[in-house]
């Protein structure tokens, strides 16, 4: 590779580096896309963003990803995905895409340090659970604070947990947690749930589920694991310290789509719209994983979408070459 005067890697024409496939995001979707694009000999470039391994890497143990009967650590699985993709030529850069210009072809991707040109782009930037932003939340994430009941529920067998939120996710995940926990308390900031009627009825009929209304979590406390939560009644201001083993937070998800606004079509929640072939409204731009999936949010489904997006990017490039 050559370099221009500002040190930017250039292709043989002296342009900023022109890539066949650029993948944004290095969660299960981005990593699987990288593996498939690498095995198609497209030498993909992955800009990892700030969360290598994606949300899955935050999970202590993943027990529902096929092929690991004893389970696999979330971070370890991310490392294995990366190693496998690198074996076939994928390149990972710990860079954040700060803006994209999809108005012309090749696409332009800016990072803090350079501009990259891409013939195809796979958007796998994921979604982030909305955080409560209370003291103790960050420090105890993975040590009793969780954003995924499917991933972590098993660790709370016969334990007491609280679920924060009143939407479909909170109620659905709260019901799921009753498979394991001895008691699940749904703590909601109002006195009525946002969740749909069917889920509400199922939760209210469940003997293991209790509700604490008009209440927010003001603080999560514990030394090496969650021990107590400080609850505050928003109407009376009264505070109460409650012993718990786990705090599951479901106060919404936010797809990481800020830099694509006005360019890629999205639903009203900001999830990127695509067809069954992972194609967006812009030919050559594909999506995979939670950035386009408000429904499943599983490692296995995101990985599958990543593979599909890379296969489609490969076909797109073949069509371009053949035209
Ligand atoms: P959501 O519908 O946006 O609900 C978020 C909940 O968190 C709301 O009850 C909200 O309270 C509460 N909340 C927000 N910020 C908070 C804060 N800082 N502190 C305390 N509580 C806070 O999110 P979701 O439940 O993840 O659902 C997202 C979408 O997926 C929805 O469209 C939902 O219908 C859909 N979904 C569907 C299913 C299903 O059909 N089975 C399952 C999961 C999700 P307020 O109510 O006071 O605003």
Catalytic residue, from 2, 11, 152, 245: name it. Answer: 152
Q: Per-residue pLDDT tens for 169-186?
A: 899 899 999 999 999 999
Please state the separation of Cα 112 from the chain's center in Å: 22
Share of the chain above pLDDT 70, in %: 94
The minimum-distance atom of ligand 1 relative to the CA of 132 is 18
Residue 250 alpha carbon to ligand 1 centre in Å: 7
Tell me the pTM.
Answer: 0.75
Q: Which residue, 249, 272, 295, sits at the end of a domain?
A: 249
Which residues sit with their C-beta closer than 6 Å to ligand 1?
132, 164-170, 172, 189-190, 194, 216, 250-253, 294
Q: Are residues 6 and 122 in the same domain?
A: yes
Joined tokens for residue 323: 């035209």
The CB density around residue 58, as the number of other CB atoms within 10 Å, is 20
Catalytic residue, from 11, 101, 151, 293: name it. Answer: 151
Q: Are 124 and 322 in contact (CB under 8 A)?
A: no
Q: How much helix, strand and coil, in percent to the nearest 5, is found in the chain?
A: 25, 30, 45
How many domains does the structure of the chain reveal? Answer: 2
| Helix 28-39 × helix 299-322 angle, to 10° | 40
- For the chain (length 323 residues), average pLDDT per consecutive 10? 46 66 97 98 96 76 89 93 98 97 97 96 94 97 91 94 95 94 98 95 98 98 97 98 98 94 96 97 98 92 98 97 74
Q: Are residues 124 and 135 in the same domain?
A: no
Q: Which residue, 198, 230, 249, sits at the end of a domain?
A: 249
Return phi, psi of residue 118, to 5°: -135, 135
Joined tokens for residue 182: 């001895």
Q: Are residues 69 and 185 in the same domain?
A: no
Choose the residue to mutate in 128, 131, 195, 252 for probing ligand 1, maximizing ligand atoms within 8 Å of C-beta. Answer: 252
Q: Are residues 273 and 288 in the same domain?
A: yes
Report the pLDDT value the prediction gives residue 4, as an integer from 0 to 100.
46
Q: Are residues 16 and 100 in the same domain?
A: yes
Please state the separation of Cα 273 from the chain's center in Å: 16
Q: Are residues 124 and 141 in the same domain?
A: no
Q: Are residues 67 and 86 in the same domain?
A: yes
Q: Are residues 98 and 206 in the same domain?
A: no
Report the pLDDT value the prediction gives residue 6, as an integer from 0 to 100.
43
Q: Are residues 13 and 115 in the same domain?
A: yes
Report the pLDDT value the prediction gives residue 13, as an integer from 0 to 100.
44
Give the range of the structural domain holding residue 155, as residue numbers without chain letter.
131-249
Task: Give, as one character, the DSSP assignment of residue 72.
Answer: B
- First-to-last CA distance in the chain? 27
CATH number at residue 167: 3.50.50.60
């Amino acid at each position: 590779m050559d370099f221009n005067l500002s040190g930017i890697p250039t292709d043989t024409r002296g342009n900023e580096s022109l890539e066949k496939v650029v993948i944004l995001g290095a969660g299960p979707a981005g990593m699987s896309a990288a593996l498939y694009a690498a095995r198609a000999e497209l030498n993909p470039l992955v800009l990892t963003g700030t969360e290598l391994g994606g949300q899955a890497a935050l999970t202590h143990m993943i027990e529902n990803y096929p092929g690991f009967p004893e389970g696999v650590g979330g971070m370890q699985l991310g490392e294995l995905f990366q190693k496998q993709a690198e074996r076939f030529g994928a390149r990972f850069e710990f860079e954040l895409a700060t803006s994209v210009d999809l108005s012309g072809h090749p696409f332009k991707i800016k990072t803090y340090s350079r501009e990259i040109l891409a013939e195809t782009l796979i958007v796998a930037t994921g979604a982030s659970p909305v955080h409560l932003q209370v003291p103790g939340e960050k420090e105890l994430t993975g040590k009793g604070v969780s954003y995924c009941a499917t991933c972590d529920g098993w660790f709370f067998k016969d334990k007491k947990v609280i679920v924060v939120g009143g939407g479909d996710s909170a109620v659905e995940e709260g019901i799921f947690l009753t498979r394991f926990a001895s008691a699940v308390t749904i703590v909601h900031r109002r006195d009525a749930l946002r969740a749909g009627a069917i889920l509400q009825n199922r939760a209210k009929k469940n003997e293991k589920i209790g509700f604490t209304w008009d209440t927010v979590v003001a603080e999560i406390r514990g030394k090496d694991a969650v021990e107590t939560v400080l609850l505050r009644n928003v109407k009376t201001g009264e505070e109460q310290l409650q012993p718990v083993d786990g705090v599951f937070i479901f106060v919404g998800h936010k797809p990481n789509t800020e830099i694509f606004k006005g360019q890629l079509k999205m639903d009203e929640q900001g999830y990127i719209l695509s067809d069954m072939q992972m194609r967006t409204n812009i030919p050559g731009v594909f999506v995979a994983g939670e950035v386009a999936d408000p429904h499943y949010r599983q490692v296995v489904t995101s990985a599958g979408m990543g593979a599909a997006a890379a296969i489609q990017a490969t076909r797109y490039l073949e069509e371009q070459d053949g035209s």
